[in-house]
Amino acid sequence: MKTRKHLFAEMNREELRRAARTSTVVLPVGATEQHGPHLPTGTDYFTVEHVSREAARVASAEIPIVVTPALPFGSSDHHFLYGGTLSLSTETYLRVMRELVHSLVRDGFKRIFVVNGHGGNHEVIQLAARDIALNHRARVAAGSYWNIAWDALIEAGANLGCRLPGHAGIFETSMMMALRGDLIPAKRPGRKGEFHTDPRSFHAPYRHEKHGFWKSIDGYTDSPDRATEEFGRRCQEAIVGALAKAFIEFHRAEPA
């Protein structure tokens, strides 16, 4: 059986024109920013592109779906003090998101799913999704992969002493060890003293920000030295399965 193409960058304009009529299109968005002294700056970009592509591949057995190239830049001003960071201001990033999603609408897509891989982008992508849906006959979903896969990640053991998703801590380091172990040093930093590791931190009823927080923790959360490749594989499998399910449910909901 011939495999249906689902990568936007590998398709020509005629294939995309036909696909737009019936397909859900997935737009992964990440960031390029410091991830401690041990992870590559492309961690968010590598991760969100991988899980989005794999989830789309799984979902393509049941629905028509297309995945765009991942956006490698996001809202990362809070990491400037460490260097190794390329950031867009909140205002610029919101405009970029609106214009990218608008481009997909202009191409004919009526079902658009934005998958986020960086905490600093979360609120902005949801604003962009709302604005597009208000002004165009399209359905737009937007969410961070760890929230979409929350229950599956907890079942995979992601609530056992690590910050979820955290930043360059156990979770992200494990994910990158499974995805690009060639980029990860064998010796990784640990966390001196106690550090808040409640996995529910991103599900709190309010957002708590503190001036100087990132400087106080040296740019990474919890203990990267406790990360394992096996844990990273379990998390990736959980995320891919949950995203594929979300893509299918979104596609099969009411017509655009």
pTM of the model: 0.91
- Taking the CB of residue 210, how many other CB atoms lie within 10 A of it? 7
The pLDDT of residue 215:
56
Pairing of strands 24-29, 65-67: parallel
The model's pLDDT over 40-56, given as tens digits with 9 standing for 90+, comes to 999 999 999 999 999 99
Largest CA distance in the chain: 58
Backbone φ and ψ for 86, nearest 5 degrees, come out as -115, 120
- Count of other CB atoms within 10 angstroms of residue 71: 25
Q: Domains plus CATH for the chain?
A: 8-156+239-252 (3.40.50.10310)
Mean predicted lDDT score pLDDT of the chain? 89
pLDDT at residue 33 in the model: 96
pLDDT at 194: 45
Backbone angles phi, psi at 217, to 5 degrees: -110, 10
- pLDDT for 171 equals 95
Place of tokens 């609120």: 123
What is the C-alpha separation between 186 and 242, in angstroms, rounded?
A: 30
Whole-angstrom distance, CA of residue 219 vs CA of residue 213: 9
Q: How far is CA 172 from the centre of its chain?
A: 11
Bridge partners, 115 (sequence order): 28, 143
pLDDT, tens digit, 9 for 90 and up, residues 182-205: 999 998 877 654 444 444 554 555
Given this model, what pLDDT does residue 216 score? 52
Q: What is the mean pLDDT of residues 72-99?
A: 94
Residue 147: pLDDT band (50, 70, 90) is very high
pLDDT of residue 189: 79
pLDDT tens digits for range 1-34: 456 789 999 999 999 999 999 999 999 999 999 9
Peptide bond into 165 cis (omega under 30): yes
